[in-house]
Structures are given as structure tokens and as C-alpha cells.
Amino acid sequence: MTSANGGPIADGERQRLVVIGNGMVGARFVDELLARGGGERYEIVMFGDEPTGNYNRILLSGILAGSHAPEDIFINPLEWYATHGVTLHAGVRVGSVDRESRLVRGDTGVLEPYDVLVFATGSSPFVPPLRNMSGHGTETKEGLFAFRTLDDCARMLAHAPTARTAAVIGGGLLGLEAARGLLERGLDVHVVHLRSHLMEMQLDPPAGELLRATLEAMGVTVHVDTETSALLGAQRVEGLAFADGRTLACDMVVVSAGIRPNVSLAIDCGLVVDRGIVVTDELRCPGDPAVFAIGECAQHRGQLYGLVAPLWEQARVLAERLSGRVPDAVYTGSRVSTKLKVAGVELAVMGDQEPASTTDEVVTYSEPSRGVYKKLVVRDGRLGGAILLGDAGAAPMLLQAFDRGTALPENRAELLFQLAAAERAAGVAELADSAQICNCNGVSKGDLVAAVRGGHCTLRSLCEATRAGLGCGACKPQVQQVLELAAGDAVRDDPSVHWYVPGVPLTKAELVRAVREHDLRSVSAVFARLAGGREDAGSKAGLASLLRTIWGKDYDDERDARFINDRVHANVQKDGTFSVIPRIFGGVTTAAELRRIADVAEKYAVPMVKITGGQRIDLLGVSKERLPDMWRDLGMPSGHAYTKAFRTCKTCIGSEFCRYGVGDSTTLGVQIERRYQGVETPHKLKLATAGCPRNCSEATTKDVGAVAIEGGQWEIYVGGAAGTRVRKGDLLVVVDSHDAVLRYMGRFMQYYREHAKYLERTFDFVERMGIDRLRAVLVDDVEKICAELDAAIDAAAEAYVDPWEEATAPVHPSQFADLLEPIGPAPAAAWENR
Amino acid sequence: MSTSARDAARGVVRIDLGSIERVPPGEGQTFLVEGREIAVFRSRDDVVHATQARCPHRAGLLADGIVGDGRVICPLHGYRFELASGAPVGNACAALHTFPVELTTDRRVLVWVPRGSRSEVA
């Protein structure tokens, strides 16, 4: 174990971690750290300016409006700190930090030494210099407020009943929230904004204008392009004077003109400060390995963040790093997106609000009478940014497309109006609580809603808690909708949805890079290097699949990383027995082969013999220990009916016998299956060839299919499905020879191997990438990678070894053991001398 | 009274399952001990656990599950359990019965089980 600054930690001794700031980021960080076992590593001390625990600052406007009581918005009440062994100096401002002797001094005189220091000092309201701001002496003038803390709210609420007219300086998100709150309290509210449109940080001019109209319809008076120069009134606020000479009479003023990061403490102790406290990707302050900064006070890659999602991401990354769970966790910045309500108006914004170049496509829809405005910036067929105002119904889908960079449908209207998806969402809202959402595990809408109320506010934690979506996975979009319905704004994005496997916090691309960079050839090596040594069982099979794709025959194949099916090369059944499916290439067999299968079925008293959907023969109910003998007696290779790999190529009879056939689909199917048998892929692949467009072998609803058309040509379809989903495959290309069919199919398979997520079927993969993109890459070769893909799939195909050969050479003496007997009673000596 | 004698008096017997090498590293293996099936798990760094052999949900053979980080994932429906305590992880399945298990200096696996009768073998 090593400390944050690389030095060793004495065994059994905890380091002292001091966190300056007890706001939404500081407390979240400590919470995340404790969740990762950080309490064993650190003695944690926190300083907070405010005399309370940590509360949800986003809900302050609810207190102002009267919809929330102060006690409703606490995330970590004071008791929380005591019960979690955290020392909190509540209401104690930090006066100085001595980095030389590693001491933090509170302004009460309290001294706290640290080994690791985290700045989470947040920000303060920016108050523009106005004339006549103070009342008696240096006191703030009566009736003048900032809007940042619970205390600010309490003072505003105490004053509001004596006031009739309130002016809010600043038409940003917080200012408008304050305006809305005061409106609810019955005041006449004015918003005074320096810029030409409201919320210029998030909205473009038309959206800002529409929002102004909506607010005015609610009764708020909005003054844009208006600079406030002075307060009016001697002891008490009596009005505002503007730079253009106009005045506004009011008896309450709320300043909400932006925020400034709290950096003075950091400057005083000599840290590098630009606009915020400068941090590296490790969230560390350059020059002092013991000091970190996160939250609104931190400046990362030149960027300051003010929205909660990226800041909580920083808190999580730092907790991963300092807890030792992921010692090399880094924060690489966030794509900012948010979905919220401003003054009761739905708003979702993400990415760029304006096109960045002439090739960006802008799609807008405006319906002023309903206060609805939608704008998409489309870049290279993907979402570069969006604004949804007044109707954010399409936001979940757009946020997903934005976060994941998925290809957009060519008909952009589908995105703006979300026709089909909206119907599904409405469907979920209207369902009764008893309605079953997950048909695999029998989870009802009511079960899901109860789990959400119990605090499961990410898709993953909801699925794990209820088991919904953990069967075939087809219901996950509906589970997500129920989550959004039940949790509303409490829905949290779960960064792990982007990871390739749950136990290694990297996307597939990042993971592939790290695996190559560190030359990680086994699953245990990946855990050791990239997951802090934690061997997450749920990640093993996915990593094994990926490493095999990356390293091919140089993969260090640790058998414990395989699912049972892949350890014994057979498909486990509900009673623990296995099914044996020998390969029958293209579904074409012989009388001799059938006779052998029949003999084996009789010899081993196989309880069921079944023709499969993939045109082969399944021998069901076989115990593990009899598998090797059966394989030997069959004398046929494995059909791979048990693994995430190329499985079969189903064929119709084709031109050889069929009077309609225009292509030789049986010969082609046999060629395909011989060529690609057993090649491992992120999920199973089922193929088919059809000898004419009548498509008897259902090639258009297979992962990859070839359909013969007149003129000696073959259409190649990819991404078809006829299982949990039914989807017609997309036409990739039309070719004129069997060789070309094999070539394009292989190329697609390799691209799928390299770019799909683990357990992502081709129908999801093809939709995610977009068929246009796939055609460009795989047919037009715009990325100049086709030669590499072809070589890689050829190497994988040539490295194929029939796993049933392990019948004669098992990898471990217990590989096919059902039940072992003990040696006997333990001899006393053996046990007492141990 | 020695520990072994006390165990015997309580009807608990200590059984020698043989070398740890009978269980592949990072995997599990089912044993038939005193008339009952027991799953024995060996982590990649040779930490050994023993639990009931079949999951409480649908009698899946836990020794066929994937093991890691002190947990096993049932091969049938993916339910997870803590190997040390038998507690279900993220699901409401009943906890697994666990058996004390020991790895001796000469790398033999000893398991403590209630004295059984052949009649328990169904």
C-alpha cells in the first residue's frame, strides 16, 4: 500500500485526510470514499463554512417557493458525520493552510494536520460593484440578498412578507429560480439582466427570447440589456438605478450575477491558481503531491464546471484514486449536459448551442404559443449539441445519443418529436403497478418504483436490486423509463454504463489502449494493473473475450475467466447437465454422420434428441463427466452452440435442387461455416444464406445474412434479429461471388469484434454505429482499415482449434469432474500441526 | 479435550478433501462429503471457501460459477453470493450455508461438516 504522495503507509496506521469544504462536492467525495473502504485508510476531517451538514443546493429555490422545507433537502445531516466516523468542523472557516508543516488552521484556532488535503471550497456569488450598497456603516443594506446558502434563503423568507416588489439582478439559471420562488411568495418580481437574452450561457437568442415570453406570461417582468449601477435608499433598499438613467422602485434585491470560485485560501498557501485552482488529470495540484482540488473551485484543462454531474464525477474519480480501488483513476473532463426545470419550465441542454462550422447541420423547431423551442446541432451524423425548452420529452434519448456518440436517424424529426419512443414512454406511465416490465425475471412496474423510492436511482443499481433487465436485457429501455418516471430529477447518470465491464472503469477503447500499452495478456494481469487487483467475477468473461480478440494465439488463457460453458465446451442446462451439439456445416449432413449420432444417443441413453433452430442436432441431458467420451465417439467437431462466437450458418436448399434458387446457398453456407467456425465475438453470431429472395432460411433477420438475387449476385445484410427483438438487417453491400461474400462477412465480424461492447448483439451494434458509417468503413474503406480487418479475421479463423480435442487432453484433471470424493477423515496430525 | 475431539462430540467431522490442486485455480469443484454435496472454491491466490453445492433459487451448481473478489456468480441465473458468509449480493435469494474450511501447510483442504448419514444422498 502506498500513500497519495507515494510513500509507504505503516501497517495498521491511518493517514489523515482533511477536506476543506462540506458542500455538494466535498461531502459527496467523502461519501464515495467511504463507500470504497476509505475509512480503513484515512482518518477523515472536514471543514464547512456553514453550521449544518451537506444539503442539496439545487433545491434552495424550492425552499424559497415553499415547496420544500429545509430539512427536506439535507443529503448528509450532522448525525451522518458522527455515525461514519468523520470529524466535521461545522461553521468553521479555514483561516490558513501551511503546506510546509501540513497543517490546516480553522478560524476558531483549531489545528488539523494532514497527510492528504482536498480543496472543495466551491464558489461564492459574484456581486457586481454597485454604488450605495451598504446600510449602517459596513453592514449590508437591509433588503439586499445573495442567493447561495440556506442562511440566505432564511433571511430572504424573513424579509419577503414585508416586501412588495423584488428585483433579481442576473437572468441566469439561479436568478430565474430565485425569481420563480419569490413569485410564488406573492411578490411582484423583476429580473434585471445585463445581456441581450436570458441564460446566455445555456441558450441561444431565440430560446432566451422564448423563455422571456414564458416568464412574462407567469407575471415576471424581464429587463434585458440593462446594467444596474446603484442601489437606491438609505438604510433599506428602495430601488435600483440603471446605467441608462432609468430607475426601478423595489423593496428587495437579490443578486445572482454569477459565481466566482473560492480560491483565496489556495492563493494564500501558494498553489497554482488561474481562474480556479489548477488541477491535473489526477485532480492533483501541480507542485504538491499531497493536495487535490475538486468541484467549482477547481480548474481542469482550462475548464471550470458549475453543474453537479461533472463535479460528482470528479468526486468519484478522486475517491477511486485515494481509496486505492483504482489507484491510477483519472478525470479527463466532462461533456456537459443537463436536464432541469428553470422556473418550472423544462429545459435540457447539451454540447454546443451553435454550429461550429459550415458543415454542421442545424435543425430547429419553434412553437411560441406553447413556449416550445428545440434545436439540434448535428455534426457528422452525430449530435454535437441540443437545446430543448418547454418540452424536454425527447431529452433522455438525445442525452443518450450525445453521451454515447451514436449515429442519428436520417429523419431528424424522429429525434425532435420522438414519435415512437414517446408512445412507449407514455405507455409506461399509464401501466398499472402490477404490469410486468421484465419478462425474464418477472419484475413489475410496482417492484421497480418501490426500488427507486428505496434509493436505487441509477439504471444499474435498479437492475441489480430488482433483477430487471438482467435476463435477455430487452426491457432495459422500459426500466430506464420507469426510473425516470419514478425518480424524476433524482435520476443519476451512471458512468459505469460506458465501461466495457463493470469491474474495470474504462471504456472499450480506453481498455484496449491500456491492454496494449501495458502488454496485459491475461485476465488476472488486467485486474492487477487496471482494477487495483480486485478480480470482479462479473467482468472476467468479458475481459477474456476482449483479450482473445486483441492477442489471438498469444492470449494467456486462464480458464477460470471462462463461463462454465466455455470450460467444458457444452451448454449448461437448468438441471446442471449439458447439451452436446456437434457441428453440421451449413445443415448439410450424411447418412453415416446421422447413424453415428444415433449410436451415441443410444449408447449414452441421451434423454432428448432435438433438431435445433440452427439446423443441427442437440443431444440433451448429458453429465459433465461423460462429455469427453461422447465427443470421441461422435468423431465430429464442436458446434459451438454454447459460446459467444460464430455459431452456425443456416442454409436453404438453393440452386442445387430448388426450382426457384438463383444462388448456391448450401455451398456458400458450408464455406462460411468452415471458414469462421468458433471465431469468438462479443455476443453470439447466427448467420444464414438464402438461395433466392423468398428467403426460406430467414437470412434477413440473422446477425449476418446473404441473399442470392438474379444475376449471380448476393445481398449481404447485417444486424438482423428475430429473438427478443425483431429487426430486418441493413443491406451492407451487394457482391457477385462467394469469395466476396466471405470477405465482407469476415470484415464485418472483425469490426464487430473490435468495436462492439461485450454482450452487445449485432442488431444493437449496427444501430449504434449506423449503416451509413459501416458502409463507409467496410465498403468504401474511408478509414483505410479494411486490409487490417481482413488480415485480423483471417488470423483468427486460421488460429481455430476444435475445443473438443480436449477430450483427449484436458487442461486440468478436474475439468470434466462432476463430483469428487474426499480422501477420508482428516488425520489429527495433519490438522493439529498446521 | 482437543479441538478435534470437541468437534467429534458435537457431531462435526473434519474431512480431508486432498490436495488443493484437485480444484483448478480460480474455480470451484463439487465434492460429496458425508453424504452431502459441497462446493469448494479456490481463489487464484489460494484462499479456500466451502458452501452448499446448489443455489437456493433453482439448484444451480455453484461450483460451475465464475469466482472472483470473494464472490461466486451462479451459472444459471447470475445470482451472486459472498463466499465467506454465504450472503446474497444484490438479490433477495436465501443465504448459502457455509462450511469451515482450512488449507494446511502441505496444501491439503480440510472441511468441517456435520456428521452425515448415507441416507442424505438422494
- Coil, helix or strand at residue A142: strand
Residue A757 DSSP symbol: P
List of residues 6+ apart from A209 with CB closer than 8 A: A197
pLDDT for the residue A686: 96
Q: Which of A460, A452, A462 is nearest to A489 (CA)?
A: A452
The residue with cell 422564448 is A210
Q: Which amino acid is present at A82?
A: A
CB within 8 Å of chain A, chain B residues 1-40: 2-4, 13-18, 22-27, 29-33, 37
DSSP secondary structure string for all residues of A700-734: GGSSEEEEEETTTEEEEEES-EESSSEEPPEEEEE
Q: How large is the ipTM?
A: 0.91
Q: Which amino acid is present at A549?
A: T
Q: Which of A608, A678, A609 is nearest to A641 (CA)?
A: A678
Ranges of beta strands (E only) in chain B are 12-19, 28-33, 36-42, 48-52, 66-68, 71-73, 80-82, 88-89, 98-99, 101-103, 108-114
How does residue B119 score in pLDDT terms, banded at 50, 70 and 90? very low
The residue with cell 446603484 is A230
Mean predicted confidence (pLDDT) in A239-259? 95
pLDDT for the residue A651: 97
Q: Please say if the pLDDT value at position A213 is more than 70.
A: yes
Chain A residue closest in CA terms to B4: A828
Is A829 an 8 Å CB contact of chain B? no
Interface contact flag, A830 B108, Cβ < 8 Å: yes
Q: Which of A339, A386, A336, A351 is nearest to A365 (CA)?
A: A386
Mean predicted confidence (pLDDT) in A321-328? 90
Residue A592 DSSP symbol: H
Interface contact flag, A814 B29, Cβ < 8 Å: yes
Interface contact flag, B22 A814, Cβ < 8 Å: yes
CB within 8 Å of chain B, chain A residues 394-423: none
Is B47 an 8 Å CB contact of chain A? no
Question: A576 and B59 in contact (C-beta within 8 Å)?
Answer: yes
How does residue A338 score in pLDDT terms, banded at 50, 70 and 90? confident
Best interface-test mutation with B: which of A438, A569, A571, A823 has the largest number of B CBs within 10 A? A823
Residue A733 CA to residue A782 CA, distance in Å, equals: 15
Interface contact flag, B26 A567, Cβ < 8 Å: no
pLDDT for the residue B9: 53
Other C-beta atoms within 10 Å of A238: how many? 16
Residue A463 CA to residue A476 CA, distance in Å, equals: 8
Other C-beta atoms within 10 Å of A431: how many? 18
Q: Could you tell me how many CB contacts below 8 A there are between chain A and chain B?
A: 137
Q: Please say if the pLDDT value at position A55 is more than 70.
A: yes
Question: A283 and A314 in contact (C-beta within 8 Å)?
Answer: yes
pLDDT for the residue B53: 96
Chain A residue closest in CA terms to B32: A821
How does residue A489 score in pLDDT terms, banded at 50, 70 and 90? low
Residue B97 CA to residue B119 CA, distance in Å, equals: 20
Interface contact flag, B31 A822, Cβ < 8 Å: yes
Mean predicted confidence (pLDDT) in A233-262? 94
In this complex, the residue of A538, A558, A824 whose CB is nearest that of residue B16 is A824
Residue B35 DSSP symbol: T
Q: Which of A77, A86, A76, A71 is nearest to A16 (CA)?
A: A86
Mean predicted confidence (pLDDT) in A702-710? 96
Contacts of B74 in chain A (CB under 8 A): none
Q: Please say if the pLDDT value at position A86 is more than 90.
A: yes
Find the DSSP H helices in A496-647. Answer: 508-517, 523-530, 537-551, 564-568, 591-603, 627-634
How does residue A516 score in pLDDT terms, banded at 50, 70 and 90? very high
Residue A601 CA to residue A607 CA, distance in Å, equals: 8
Query: Would you give the distance in Å from CA A760 to the centre of its chain?
Result: 15
Residue A707 CA to residue A715 CA, distance in Å, equals: 5
Interface contact flag, B64 A821, Cβ < 8 Å: no
Q: Which of A153, A124, A163, A133 is nearest to A228 (CA)?
A: A133
pLDDT for the residue A12: 56
Mean pLDDT of chain A: 90
Is A560 an 8 Å CB contact of chain B? yes
Contacts of A575 in chain B (CB under 8 A): 59
List of residues 6+ apart from A552 with CB closer than 8 A: A795, A796, A799
Is A821 an 8 Å CB contact of chain B? yes
Residue A4 CA to residue A86 CA, distance in Å, equals: 19
Would you state the torsion angle of the CA atoms of residues A430, A433, A434, A440, taken in this order, to the nearest 10 degrees? 90
Is B75 an 8 Å CB contact of chain A? yes
Helix axes A537-551, A523-530, angle to 10 degrees: 110
Is A810 an 8 Å CB contact of chain B? no
Query: pLDDT digit string (tens) for B49-94?
Result: 999 999 998 899 999 999 999 999 999 988 999 999 999 987 778 8
- Grid cell, residue A567, equals 470450460
pLDDT for the residue B118: 43
Report CA-CA distances (Å) from A459 to A46, A75, A452.
31, 21, 10
Report CA-CA distances (Å) from A437 to A421, A440, A448, A631.
16, 9, 9, 41
Other C-beta atoms within 10 Å of A31: how many? 20
Q: Are strands A188-192 and A165-169 parallel, antiparallel or unpaired?
A: parallel
pLDDT for the residue A340: 75
Report CA-CA distances (Å) from A305 to A256, A277, A283, A354, A718.
17, 12, 13, 20, 42
Contacts of A828 in chain B (CB under 8 A): 2, 4
The whole-angstrom distance between B11's CA and the closest CA on chain A is 13
Mean predicted confidence (pLDDT) in A723-749? 94
- Coil, helix or strand at residue A429: helix
Question: A105 and A111 in contact (C-beta within 8 Å)?
Answer: yes
List of residues 6+ apart from A419 with CB closer than 8 A: A413
Helix axes A419-430, A476-487, angle to 10 degrees: 60
Query: pLDDT digit string (tens) for A427-450?
Result: 677 777 877 788 777 788 899 999
Burial of A633 (0-12, 13-18, 19+ CB in 10 A): middle
Q: Which of A406, A412, A400 is nearest to A339 (CA)?
A: A400
Q: Please say if the pLDDT value at position B7 is more than 70.
A: no
Residue A761 CA to residue A738 CA, distance in Å, equals: 25
Contacts of B23 in chain A (CB under 8 A): 814
Is A832 an 8 Å CB contact of chain B? yes
Q: Mean pLDDT: which of A250-259, A401-410, A653-662 is highest? A: A250-259
How does residue B12 score in pLDDT terms, banded at 50, 70 and 90? confident
Residue B75 CA to residue B62 CA, distance in Å, equals: 7
Other C-beta atoms within 10 Å of A429: how many? 11
Interface contact flag, B68 A831, Cβ < 8 Å: no
List of residues 6+ apart from A213 with CB closer than 8 A: A368, A371
Interface contact flag, A826 B2, Cβ < 8 Å: no
Question: A539 and A503 in contact (C-beta within 8 Å)?
Answer: yes
Best interface-test mutation with A: which of B14, B27, B49 has the largest number of A CBs within 10 A? B27
In this complex, the residue of A464, A539, A564 whose CB is nearest that of residue B64 is A564
- Grid cell, residue A351, equals 454540447
Of A135-149, A252-266, A424-438, A757-771, give the lowest mean pLDDT range. Answer: A424-438
